[in-house]
Structure formats: C-alpha cells, structure tokens
C-alpha cells in the first residue's frame, strides 16, 4: 500500500504530444507501473479512438482522467517537484541524472508532495525554456548509435525505476550456517575416508584438505548439509571396507 500512496502523487505531464497513439501507449505504461495521473499540455486535437486502441481497454480509466491544459505554467502550477526528461545534453540543460538515480528522491518527495514527470514533444523534446521549470533533469542512457526513444518507452523506463523504488527490500533472510565444531567433525571424517582409500598423501595430508576446506568455505555449509556429507562419507567408508573384505 505504501507504493500506491506514493504513486498517487505522481503525474506524467506530456507537453505538446503529436500523436494520439503515443498518449494511449503512455496511459498503458503508466498503469503498468501504478501511476494513474496524466496531464496533457498544449496538444492539438487528439483522436480518442486512437488513444483507446493503443492503451487497451484495461487503461481506459487512465485516459478518462486525463487533465488538459493550454499552457505549461497552469499545468505545472500545483506541483512541488518537477522532473524533466531529455535526450539532448548540454551545459545549459543539466546537471543530469539517470532514472535510477532520481527514483529514490522522487519516491521520498512524493510521500507529501505532488511530483510531475515532464516529457516533451516526440520530435524535439523539451526546450531549455521548459527545462527551467524543472528541479531535476533526467536523461535515459542509450547507445550512441540510436539515442531516440519512443515517448511511451521513455515513460515506461522512468516509471519502472520509480515503481521498483517503492517496493520493500526483498533480501532473503540469511541462512544459519554450520558451527565450527560441526565442520571440524566433517573435515576429520573426510580426511579419514580419503586416507583410507589412498587418496591423501600420508606425508602431507593437509595439502588436499586445505583445498577442500576452501572449496566448502566458498559457498558455506548448513548444518543439514554437513550431516548429508558425513552420511555419504560413512556409506563410502562402509562400501570401501566391504569391497576390501
């Protein structure tokens, strides 16, 4: 629920989008990532049927809630934090962050502030005068051979990073490893077995045992795994003695 309470304060602001299909695709991407607010600024008349076709029926509710404004000043007036996006870099346009770098700050601020993610026209992007409204500017890393991203793809990338930043940590609980006494008992049993079958050099048994210790230490062993290994050693020792007799 925490992620939903954050994303409800985040809006995607599309400045002068040219194609209705792109707006529909943005609505779909936004809903995928839990964002339901879209603002469209200064766009020419957009075909509703084309928007709905690209959004799919599952994101029609997002389209129905779109707020339309004629000018960017009015559209951004109620936002406390504005993040601009651009593929064009330059000293007058930065400093720049990546979606991953700014996502944590966006999530933090969106708890109590309205945040706008501002995207420019498909062909030109945001000009310097639009970036002046922004508290932060994001550029999405891409290959030098082809930097241009589809509008909905850029929206998805930024919204994805924001969404993942709202998720609780998913680090697995650390497992309880075997005690030193358990390990030493296992190593003694392994050494005895290997000596019995003639694998270890009796003059220097610790040479191979040190390699085995390092091998097992790389991944760590659980108590139950130590018991399994010791059981295998017992069975191998029995088999070796039985074969000999």
What domains can be seen in the chain, in order of their start residue? 2-166 (3.40.1280.10), 180-244 (1.10.8.590)
Residue 156 confidence (pLDDT) = 95
Q: Which residues of 138-160 are buried (b: 16+ CB within 10 A; e: fewer)?
A: bbbeeeeeeeebebbbbbbbbbb
- pTM comes to 0.69
Torsion (CA) 160, 172, 3, 82 in degrees, nearest 10: -50
Query: Which residue has 């000293």 as its token pair?
Result: 91
Residue 204 confidence (pLDDT) = 84
> What residues have CB less than 8 Å from 133, skipping those under 6 apart?
72, 76, 82, 84, 118
Q: What angle do CA 222, 170, 10 make, to 5 degrees?
A: 175
Residue 56 confidence (pLDDT) = 83
Check: CB of residue 110 under 8 Å from CB of residue 12. no
Check: CB of residue 125 under 8 Å from CB of residue 134. no
Check: CB of residue 8 under 8 Å from CB of residue 39. no
**Splitting the chain (245 residues) into consecutive groups of 10 residues, what average pLDDT does each group show?**
73 94 93 94 86 86 92 93 84 77 92 93 87 88 77 94 85 77 92 88 83 84 92 91 70
């Amino acid at each position: 629920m925490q992620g939903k309470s954050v994303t409800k304060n985040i809006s995607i602001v599309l400045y002068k989008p040219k194609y209705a299909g792109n707006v529909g695709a943005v609505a779909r991407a936004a809903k995928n990532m839990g964002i339901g607010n879209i603002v469209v600024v200064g766009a020419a008349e957009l075909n509703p049927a084309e928007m709905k076709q690209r959004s799919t029926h599952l994101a029609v509710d997002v389209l129905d809630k779109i707020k339309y404004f004629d000018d960017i000043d009015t559209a951004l007036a109620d936002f406390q934090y504005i993040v601009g996006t651009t593929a064009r870099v330059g000293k007058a346009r930065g400093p720049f962050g990546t979606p991953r770098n700014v996502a944590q700050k966006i999530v933090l601020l969106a708890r109590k502030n309205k945040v706008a993610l501002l995207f420019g026209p498909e062909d030109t992007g945001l000009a310097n005068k639009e970036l002046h409204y922004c508290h932060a500017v994001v550029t999405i890393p891409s290959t030098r051979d082809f930097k241009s991203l589809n509008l909905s793809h850029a929206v998805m990338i930024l919204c994805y990073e924001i969404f993942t930043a709202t998720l609780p940590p998913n680090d697995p609980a650390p497992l309880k490893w075997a005690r030193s006494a358990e390990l030493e008992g296992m190593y003694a049993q392994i050494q005895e077995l290997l000596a019995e079958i003639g694998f270890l050099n009796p003059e220097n048994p610790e040479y191979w045992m040190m390699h085995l210790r390092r091998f097992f230490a790389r991944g760590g062993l659980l108590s139950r795994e130590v018991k399994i290994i010791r059981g295998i050693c017992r069975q191998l020792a029995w088999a070796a003695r039985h074969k000999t007799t």
